[in-house]
């Protein structure tokens, strides 16, 4: 492939990576708000879940179609795979390149290079943590509601996945958006400072919101075993 064609292909891949990253970051923000509906009460989250399953289209206006959630999960999974695959080409490819990066980090205090390294590290962590969550959502979409979600968080140990996932997903998304904004809208010093502040502010806000949601889910998890008595048509917390 000649240089001109290679440059054109790289430019296209760059746009694709930026666009897929922006869509995924937007998904994460909306997702955190949807889960945060638990902060407004168990019934609110239940109705939000049913709305995501398009329950309003069913005869009784409530029973949804959980496979819709599986489809969304598959779409998100495919987008993540594409995003990660394109990102791989920017990683150091051999020992020499890793050593050079290490040397640069040791000798130059360049904040944005450090942020790039954080993005690589959180990307790796996502690669390990996210499949556990995404597969559960794709394979058991009918098991999403305040009580079953609460049971997953408290009794099935998913808190140990969600707490670190919340941190790395959020940092990855916010650093990504910051870098995207610098790349496409220009790196003037005043803008850089403002964007950095926004990045830190939004990261803290989303991590706080996610942590509160996890606490609320933990709190509404029904007593041991009573989840067995919960049916999809029961909108009441099992006792």
Give the footprint of ligand HEM on this chain (CB under 6 A): 28, 31-32, 35, 69, 72-73, 76, 130, 133-134, 137, 144, 149, 152-153, 158, 162, 165-166, 169, 210, 213-214, 217
- Rank residues 153 and 220 by Cβ distance to ligand HEM and give the closer one: 153
| 47 in a known ligand binding site | no
- Rank residues 11 and 71 by Cβ distance to ligand HEM and give the closer one: 71
| 83 in a known ligand binding site | yes
Q: How far is the CB of 218 from ligand HEM (least distance, A)?
A: 10
- Rank residues 69 and 181 by Cβ distance to ligand HEM and give the closer one: 69
Helices (H) and strands (E) in the chain, counts: 8, 0
- Rank residues 87 and 101 by Cβ distance to ligand HEM and give the closer one: 87
Extract the tokens encoding 157.
Answer: 């140990």
Q: How far is the CB of 165 from ligand HEM (least distance, A)?
A: 4
Extract the tokens encoding 95.
Answer: 């020992």
Q: How far is the CB of 115 from ligand HEM (least distance, A)?
A: 18
CA distances from 50 to 68, 176, 212 (A): 11, 31, 22
Residue 22 exposed, middle or buried by CB count within 10 Å (0-12, 13-18, 19+): middle
Q: How far is the CB of 49 from ligand HEM (least distance, A)?
A: 7
- Rank residues 93 and 234 by Cβ distance to ligand HEM and give the closer one: 234
Q: How far is the CB of 121 from ligand HEM (least distance, A)?
A: 15
Tell me the residue number closest to ligand HEM, measured at CB: 210
Quickly list H helices, 59-110.
67-88, 95-107
**Residues in the chain, overall count:** 239
Three-state SS annotation for 126-177: HHHHHHHHHHHHHHCHHHCCHHHHHHHHHCCCCHHHHHHHHHHHHHHHHHHH
E strands along 168-209, which residues?
A: none
Task: Summarize the annotated binding site as residue ranges.
Answer: 31, 83, 133, 172
Task: Summarize the annotated binding site for heme b as residue ranges.
Answer: 31, 83, 133, 172
């Amino acid at each position: 492939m000649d240089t001109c064609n290679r440059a054109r292909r790289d430019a296209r891949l760059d746009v694709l990576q930026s666009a897929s990253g922006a869509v995924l970051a937007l998904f994460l923000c909306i997702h955190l708000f949807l889960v945060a509906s638990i902060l407004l009460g168990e019934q609110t989250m239940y109705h939000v879940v049913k709305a995501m399953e398009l329950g309003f289209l069913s005869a009784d206006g409530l029973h949804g179609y959980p496979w819709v959630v599986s489809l969304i999960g598959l779409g998100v999974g495919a987008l993540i795979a594409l995003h990660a695959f394109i990102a791989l080409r920017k990683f150091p490819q051999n020992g020499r390149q890793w050593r050079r990066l290490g040397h640069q980090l040791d000798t130059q205090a360049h904040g944005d290079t450090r942020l790039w390294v954080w993005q690589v590290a959180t990307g790796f962590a996502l690669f390990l943590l996210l499949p556990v969550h995404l597969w559960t959502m794709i394979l058991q979409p009918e098991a999403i509601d305040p009580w079953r979600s609460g049971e997953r968080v408290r009794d099935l140990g998913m808190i140990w996945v969600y707490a670190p996932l919340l941190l790395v997903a959020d940092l990855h998304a916010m650093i990504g958006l910051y870098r995207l904004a610098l790349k496409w809208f220009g790196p003037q010093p005043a803008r850089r400072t403002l964007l950095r502040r926004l990045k830190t502010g939004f990261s803290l806000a989303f991590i706080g919101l996610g942590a509160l949601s996890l606490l609320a889910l933990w709190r509404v998890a029904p007593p041991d075993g009573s989840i067995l008595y919960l049916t999809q048509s029961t909108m009441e917390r099992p006792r």
